Structure 1
Amino acid sequence: MIAPSGLLPGTKTVPFARSLAAHGDRTAVITADGSVSYGELADRVAETAHRLGPERRLVLLVGANTVDALVIHLAALAAGHPVLLVPGDHADAVQSLTDAYDPDVVARPDGGAWVLDERRAVSAHTLHPDLALLLSTSGSTGSPKLVRLSHENLQANAESIAEYLGIRDSDRAVTTLPMHYCYGLSVIHSHLLRGAGVILTDLSVADACFWELFKAGRGSTFAGVPYTFDLLDRVGFASMELPHLRSVTQAGGRLAPDRVAHYAALGRAAGWDLFVMYGQTEATARMAYLPPDLAHAHPEAAGVAIPGGSFRLELLPDWPGQDTGELVYAGPNVMLGYAESPDDLGLGRSIDELHTGDIARRTPEGLYELLGRRSRFAKILGLRIDPQQVEAMLEKHDITSCCTGDDDELVVAVAGDPDAVDPVRVRRLVTGECGLPARAVRVHVLSELPRLATGKADYRAVRELSRPESLADAATSGPAGRTTPTGPVDLCRLYAEILDRDQVTEDSSFVGLGGDSLSYVEMSLNLEEALGQLPDNWHTLPIRELRKSSRQPAEDRPKTRRRTLETGVALRAVAIVLIVGSHIHLFMVKGGAHVLLGVAGYNFARFHLTSADRPERLRNLGRSITRIAVPSVAWLALMLLVTDDYRLTDVLLLTSLLGPHTGFWFIEALVYILAAATAVLAVPLVDRTERRFPFTFPVALMTLGLIGRYDLLGLDARGHIPLAVSVFWLFAMGWAAAKATTVRQRLLVTAAAVATVPGLFGQPAREAVIIGGLALLVWVRNLPSLASVNRVAGVLAGSSLYIYVTHWQVFPRLEDQFAVVSMIVSLVVGIAYAAVATRVMRWRPSRRFGRREAAGKR
């Protein structure tokens, strides 16, 4: 093992960070990519400590739940360098704190690697010998007010937590919280102190992959904020088999007493303990815990002081009673003090006790119970929010406001003309400032802000705005993300059900929620029933804007009225009928599958090439590929078991690669093309190019695809090539059609179809079908229709993939029947399989939740 780097005399360090090698070959860190032993971790820490050098420097670390970030953090603590730990998921906060504190070293990810940006060899700051760590108390706002923690703070709190949790060297804790949040960091510290393992991940507990990693890593404990427990309910945690689970800890905000009692009982039945805890960043992480055996009887209590700490109550004139007052904590984990600028980094200890700002009472059993807050700080979804800072931020944007909140939401009252002030903009400013999800921010635009007789803002009145007295009030002022009834149909709930997404807000859009061509038809038909005729761009509109497009209640609309049917939906419906009918020989109108390839490219551009960032685009593409491939493979696997019609290459969608081609060439080609497009767009340069040249880019791809269309390289004569190569140009043509916004661009796409489709089969009628379908896609966005026609077309279009997959096993078994009967049964079986497959796919635990739960203090 590499020896620790030499330190200058008198340099203080954190003992557990320098003692990693003492745990030998025990497993220290587990990730999805493998494990790291304590010896290996110690070597990496020593190497990085050597790189940082013996001269103490201020190291800004962009926090992330990765081995690289953990190594840098431990190296700095082991070598005595103060660490400014900042949220890695909030670029503005990183930049703000970098500008405010001018760190000597910036440790950050760059592509797939981590870099140490050494801005100077010797610190530009005076760094107090005791200073070890700087953490923000304001979530991800980038506020320059930081908590100064010492080496003793970190060591003492880790030892205390390890003691009352009874952490063993055989335990393995998973990182359900980000390391830049004191609660998440304390989990890492306390387990490394005892030589236990840390399962390092940024997956959410709502992600099935999280639990796979937890089980594979023999996880014994995990931590959660209140929102985490909401997610646990949704993913069926109570019925999970977790044989190694020993304890669950909760902090980061008040968990309702009934929820504490519920999870305490669940733990007793399953053999694990629930530890409810209370803390603040100013106390390094933890100040109190509720012993598991008291959780059922006293679920409302914060508990007793942690080992080494103590509480007292400071009586307050407006809170009478000897057992009630402000909770004051003392212990070796109390911070040195605050820092608001680099000048404060040289300060020593400025406080000995921590006035928590929480009003508490001491019960006869000696437990402390929190009653409220002295200050206006709000704890929303576990994230500590300073409403005054939000008000100050809005003031910079010339918005006068009053802000207050509770455990569930931040209420923002804005002064101004309701017709002139955009609440969506206000909400985006607030969520961008403090890191809250949109559903937790309620914005009210008022002609005047409520005031007390003294002229001060009436925050009680602002808080009351969040409690509408009627459904009508709720519809007009409800918070984003609340599924408040707004008439016969609740649009937020409708989006959530069809797209299998839980955090649907008034600011959500179909494409923003990851909607694709498979869910588009179902959604559009439901919305037409609820709202009437939809605008062409409805899939990109926020729900709030979409609702404005139709103010007429559904029950007041004519039952029979002319409607329009989107051309892409009509083409999908007609094409699948043509495909099945031609295979049955009911009629011989071919070309439908090739039209569907153009429609697939068209929908790919509409639903996936949005303004979302690159990771979100890729996640949505991955979800769409899964929704195509999994039901197809599942059906083929079933048929492989019960019939002799298929081979393993069919099931694995490999016939396009290994041959011979089968009737499932379309599915394989579509999956291959989408996978290839995803891989290409994952390259940052390509992603930027596509965004800059949205029409030219697919035209260039279409031109490149003509190499496969005409086999200009003679590949087919040399060996088997996938059909995806030969038909990709049609997909790219549909992509270009979606991005064509001018007559000239549409003419170009049409000319390309007319020039390249003829000769594809040597069958003029078939080629005419393809050209006609592509021309409709380019020039006609909507076709005149009726509600009854829309319903039939919608079912056929929405089930087209499933009809295509299943009909090969249906019509051959009905050869003795009339062709019309074969046709009808083939369609019905595919529609039924679509219903089953859709239900099963929606049943899977949703992956849409944020990669991390909200952070804060408790």
Structure 2
Amino acid sequence: MTTQLELAGVPFAWGLADYGDTPAIITDRVTLTYNELAERVEAFARRLGTERRLVALAASNNIESLVAYLAALAGGHPLILLPEDKPTALDSLVAAYDPDVVIRPANGEIALVERHQGSRHELHPDLALLLSTSGSTGSPKLVRLSQRNLQANAESIASYLGITAGDRAATTLPMSYCYGLSVINSHLSRGATLVLTGLSVVDPCFWELIRQQHCTSFAAVPYTFELLEGVGFGDMDLPELRYITQAGGRLAPDQVRRYAQLGSAQGWDLFVMYGQTEATARMAYLPPHLAADHPEAIGLPVPGGSFRIDPVEGLHDGELVYTGPNVMLGYAETPEDLSRGRTITELRTGDLARKNAAGLYQVVGRRSRFVKIVGLRVDLGQVERMLADLGVAAASTGTDDRLVVAVEGEQDTQLLSKVLAQGVGLPRSALTLVAVKELPRLGSGKLDYPAVTALSAEMTKAAKALPDVAAAGRTVAETNDPASTGLSNEARSSTANTLTVKQIFMDVLEVSEVKDTETFVSLGGDSLSFVAASVRLEQVLGHLPPDWHLTPIGRLQPAPKPESQPRRSGIKRTVAPIDTSIALRAVGIIFIVSTHIGLFEWQGMAHVLIAAAGYNFARFQLSGQGMPRLRRQLVSIGRIVVPAMAFIAFAFLVTDRYSLANIVLLNAILGPVEVTTQWHFWFIEDIVYILLAMSALLAVPWINRTERRYPFLYPLILFGAGLLTRYEIVEPDVPHTIPALWLFALGWVVARSRTLLQRCLVAALTVITVPGFFEDNPREATMMAGILLLTWLPTLPVPRVLTRPAAILASASMHIYLVHWLVYPPLADINRPLAVAGSLAAGIAYWIFCNRCTSTFQWFRNRSKQQL
């Protein structure tokens, strides 16, 4: 049955030496030139022999696997390619296809096992590669790809991506996955460099590798972008990144638009791509300059390919059909199929599509993603889109009698079931909805739909095991409660703490879904919500790392109890750390109110709070990019502006102390020059003006890039600009507004100080610039003390009994500042301590009222979305 090799293998595999001493492969251990790689490939090809044989390779992203892959292609040996970490899949395919040679990892190296001398198979001359379309399940159904398929698709991809020998691609996807393999093939076809790594994008070492090796691109599936959110990708400085490619499933249009705009601002391109294993890898790409305007499109056919749309009976949209040199030879399900030649000439994708007015193709659904339940045709893709519109990530499957939907995160499953049943038109009894911590995915990052179907059986089994609990609407977390599965108290406590942490974030930030990869900042947290979250988290976790607001939620775990120290019942810690900015806000508002009332005199805290505002702006408002970040900044400003305008409008109605200019926070511009009661709210106006100006500046792309590249230098320059008004070198345009930009910028610099030298510089600037600002040494001493505390002590130890009162005062500080102007005058003549207490209590009450109004508004907003 053996056939002597008569045809050369795949050109990009046997032509490696053409690129000479150009770097071909870089790992953390070694760099190989194309000449060196070609020598290794030739040596391994000699081990495979000159007779064509069927080879099975369990591969990972390392040099050994790559050399074996290229050797098989160069020698013309048909190759079954599988992931290294799925040995059962390899065993299944070995049993089904009886390969002549098996290559798999062994003791840190790669082992070649010759199972037959020569070959027991009749192998078609064109056959080069066999890939599975079912992930890593070991299904015997394989895609038969030819040498021409591989070469043509590699050249096509390299053409529209503009790959040159100067490019360097990081291998973010497994080479056993057709998308990851296409990155390898396309770059080798142009003499470019592959940076081989198995690191994930959530690993800081990955980004260090990207910078050190000057990578120009990496590939991403939709799930990768979720991970990028959690690691603050938008804030990273990657000057040599040229483009990111996306495939492996549909990326939500808002995400496409967001990353296209982010790339435009930062100097790299986003290539949205569409493909299937049956087309070797790629069939379409969306030109980057069209992504922001057409984020729902898959784009244009790749060079050498073409599309048409065939009508489908009963549907408005037709099926997308692709023709091109990269279309597979056909499927194989038995060893006998390996001798067959081409059995198809075009690829019926199974996707429903349309062509828009711009001439771009758009996939709108999956022909096979329809099920018929109780006589009703249900579009499973539409089910997922309905939930996505509600902000819920979901995966839906179905049988002849039931729709099965998995939703990610802690969800109100009863409400979602009701919304889905109404939206789809199914009876509730025909719907199973399961909440899971994370949607099940294959190794490629694609959704694992068979695993979703299996969840229905798990729910039924759990319901039978717990007959006293209704199965409908329960989550997987509930049916697998540690108390009912025999887990230890420690495991039960850990699970409870994880849920509690997420619940704190949902409560404080008014969000309905929290993922383990998200952070306080990525969820839109700001200095106002920071106070409530930090105090509640410290109570649950027993500790808080200084950078907890930037830490993925899944990593916020309780402090371990040392085994060597037995637990002492009845004894609690009497001191707890509290964030310094929280302590300053709590103490500051007491001092401000007490000074205004005349209980005691301690000025300077308002200016300390301006520096604290800059400090918190840098911590909470600079993550993300583009419109999402600007929107978050404006929402944060709105949380100041709306309560202030509402209260000042009330004060305007009940007193004669204020004007219309006060209501719209424009007294500094439109109000009287002389200082009157209309200047009571100067602090609020200053903060709002500065925050608006900073947000506007950072909306300018080149300024934004400058801030990200020089995070310490940028606010230092702002500080220098602010000194022009501090020393009255430049007179401020806003009359009587005490120059405050330099203090805000100084707080910003404090937040960006990472080294001892930087902190020393900030301390020196504080000591140099604060004296002389007032003709009042105690006030200046207060300012310096507050700023130096922020610089050197991120947290302060306080009696535990005071942590919650401090958190409440800090959270309500702005509201107290607003209302005390009306509360204290009638009380001060009776008793000044009473006036202080009354002002604090009234401000806290107004803060609670505003929070409840916000919560009510959010509830109605979410309900309206769910009813659409």
With the length of structure 2 as denominator, give the TM-score of the two structures.
0.51
Unaligned runs of 5+ in 1: 1-58, 61-83, 138-142, 156-177, 187-222, 235-249, 266-273, 277-289, 302-369, 372-378, 395-400, 413-462, 854-858
Q: How does 1:616-635 map to 2 (within 5 A)?
A: 616-635=628-647
Identify which of 681, 688, 702 aligns with 1:671.
688
Q: How does 1:579-728 map to 2 (within 5 A)?
A: 579-610=592-623, 612-660=624-672, 662-715=679-732, 720-721=734-735, 723=737, 726-728=739-741
CA distance in 2, matches of 1:493, 1:118: 41
Contact 2:406 2:439 in 1 (8 A): no
- The reply on whether 1:502 has 2:512 as its aligned counterpart is yes
- The reply on whether 1:391 has 2:443 as its aligned counterpart is yes
Contact 1:581 1:823 in 2 (8 A): yes
Shift of 1:224: 7.0
Contact 2:296 2:362 in 1 (8 A): no
Change in CA separation of 1:583 and 1:852 when aligned onto 2, cut-off 3 Å: closer
The residue aligned with 1:493 is: 503
Shift of 1:700: 1.0
The residue aligned with 1:798 is: 811
The residue aligned with 1:823 is: 836
Identify which of 524, 531, 535 aligns with 2:534.
524
Identify which of 755, 775, 778 aligns with 2:768.
755
- The reply on whether 1:739 has 2:791 as its aligned counterpart is no
CA distance in 2, matches of 1:755, 1:690: 25
CA distance in 2, matches of 1:789, 1:149: 61
CA distance in 1, matches of 2:567, 2:664: 46
Q: Letter of the 2:504 partner, please give it.
A: L
- The reply on whether 1:182 has 2:365 as its aligned counterpart is yes
The residue aligned with 1:565 is: 578
Shift of 1:608: 2.1
CA distance in 2, matches of 1:677, 1:795: 28
Shift of 1:116: 13
User: Residue 631 of structure 2 aligns to a residue in which SS?
Assistant: helix
Contact 1:698 1:736 in 2 (8 A): yes
User: Residue 798 of structure 2 aligns to a residue in which SS?
Assistant: strand
The residue aligned with 2:383 is: 225
User: Residue 182 of structure 1 aligns to a residue in which SS?
Assistant: strand
- The reply on whether 1:97 has 2:253 as its aligned counterpart is no
Write the deviation string for residues 384-441 of structure 1: whole angstroms up to 9, x where unpaired. Answer: 9995xx23559xxxxxx998532798999xxxxxxxxxxxxxxxxxxxxxxxxxxxxx
CA distance in 2, matches of 1:146, 1:511: 45
Q: Letter of the 1:687 partner, please give it.
A: N
User: What is the percent sequence identity of the aligned residues?
Assistant: 32
The residue aligned with 1:421 is: none
Q: Letter of the 2:383 partner, please give it.
A: V
With the length of structure 1 as denominator, give the TM-score of the two structures.
0.51
Shift of 1:771: 1.3
CA distance in 2, matches of 1:744, 1:625: 33
Change in CA separation of 1:260 and 1:705 when aligned onto 2, cut-off 3 Å: closer
The residue aligned with 1:542 is: 552
Contact 2:506 2:514 in 1 (8 A): yes
User: Residue 844 of structure 1 aligns to a residue in which SS?
Assistant: helix
Contact 1:106 1:117 in 2 (8 A): no
Shift of 1:683: 2.4
Shift of 1:787: 0.5
Contact 1:475 1:484 in 2 (8 A): no
Q: How does 1:802-817 map to 2 (within 5 A)?
A: 802-817=815-830
Write the deviation string for residues 715-760 of structure 1: whole angstroms up to 9, x where unpaired. Answer: 55xxx44837x21110110010011111211121122222222222
CA distance in 1, matches of 2:416, 2:722: 60
- The reply on whether 1:844 has 2:860 as its aligned counterpart is no
CA distance in 1, matches of 2:863, 2:707: 27
Q: How does 1:360-379 map to 2 (within 5 A)?
A: none
Contact 1:572 1:797 in 2 (8 A): yes
CA distance in 2, matches of 1:299, 1:850: 19
Change in CA separation of 1:118 and 1:537 when aligned onto 2, cut-off 3 Å: closer
CA distance in 1, matches of 2:309, 2:572: 78
Q: Letter of the 1:106 partner, please give it.
A: P
- The reply on whether 1:124 has 2:307 as its aligned counterpart is no
CA distance in 2, matches of 1:478, 1:391: 31
Change in CA separation of 1:519 and 1:125 when aligned onto 2, cut-off 3 Å: closer
Identify which of 395, 405, 412 aligns with 2:451.
405
User: Residue 834 of structure 1 aligns to a residue in which SS?
Assistant: helix
User: Residue 565 of structure 1 aligns to a residue in which SS?
Assistant: strand
Contact 2:578 2:796 in 1 (8 A): yes
Q: How does 1:374-453 map to 2 (within 5 A)?
A: 390-392=442-444, 404-406=450-452
Contact 2:540 2:558 in 1 (8 A): no
Once superposed, what is the RMSD of the aligned Cα atoms?
Answer: 5.5
User: Residue 759 of structure 1 aligns to a residue in which SS?
Assistant: coil
- The reply on whether 1:106 has 2:287 as its aligned counterpart is yes
CA distance in 2, matches of 1:537, 1:134: 51
CA distance in 1, matches of 2:287, 2:490: 42
Contact 1:104 1:123 in 2 (8 A): no
Write the deviation string for residues 113-171 of structure 1: whole angstroms up to 9, x where unpaired. Answer: 99999999x9733555859977699xxxxx999736799x999xxxxxxxxxxxxxxxx
Q: Letter of the 1:97 partner, please give it.
A: Y
Tell me: higher relative CO, structure 1 or 2? Use CA pairs within 8 A at least 6 residues apart: 1
Contact 1:381 1:407 in 2 (8 A): no
Q: Letter of the 1:656 partner, please give it.
A: A
Contact 2:668 2:685 in 1 (8 A): yes
CA distance in 1, matches of 2:717, 2:321: 48
Q: Letter of the 1:569 partner, please give it.
A: I
The residue aligned with 1:287 is: none
Shift of 1:843: 2.3
Contact 2:440 2:448 in 1 (8 A): no
CA distance in 1, matches of 2:796, 2:862: 37
User: Residue 845 of structure 1 aligns to a residue in which SS?
Assistant: helix
CA distance in 2, matches of 1:528, 1:259: 32
CA distance in 2, matches of 1:749, 1:666: 24
Contact 1:468 1:474 in 2 (8 A): no
User: Residue 677 of structure 1 aligns to a residue in which SS?
Assistant: helix
CA distance in 2, matches of 1:762, 1:671: 27
Write the deviation string for residues 433-490 of structure 1: whole angstroms up to 9, x where unpaired. Answer: xxxxxxxxxxxxxxxxxxxxxxxxxxxxxx99995252486999999xx999515982
